[in-house]
Structure 1
Amino acid sequence: WSEGEKYDLALSFQEKVGCDYIWENICDVQGKNSSSFLISANNLTNDSAIYESDDNCGESN
C-alpha cells in the first residue's frame, strides 16, 4: 500500500498500556525498535509517553 502524499495521524488512548501495545505492533511491522522513538519529557506523568516517528514512517524498507 502506498500513499501519494504524506499524512499525519494522531491517536489518543485512555490508558498508556493501549498506546504502548499499538506502538509496539506498528514498530514490529516496520521492523523498527519501538524504544528508539520514545521521547523523555520532564512534564509527563508516569502514565504518559510521547513517541516521535521518523520521516520514513509508513514507508517500506
Structure 2
Amino acid sequence: MRNQLAARFGVSLPAWVNERLTQAGDAELQAWTLAVLSARRLEDMFGDAGDETAD
C-alpha cells in the first residue's frame, strides 16, 4: 500500500499516513487498495485526519 500511495501521489508519505497504515486492519487495507485508484489526494483516502491545522 505504501508503494501504491507513493506512486499515485508522487510524494514522500507523511508520518500520519504511515501511522494509519501501520494501525490498519485487513479490511481497511483492502478498501484502500481500491480507493487509491480514484483519490485525488491522500486526504481523500484517509479523511482529513492529517490536516492538523484545520480550524
User: Which structure shows the bigger proportion of residues in strand conformation?
Assistant: 1
Structure showing greater Rg:
1
Structure possessing the higher relative contact order (Cα contacts under 8 Å, 6 or more residues apart): 2
User: Which structure shows the bigger proportion of residues in helix conformation?
Assistant: 2
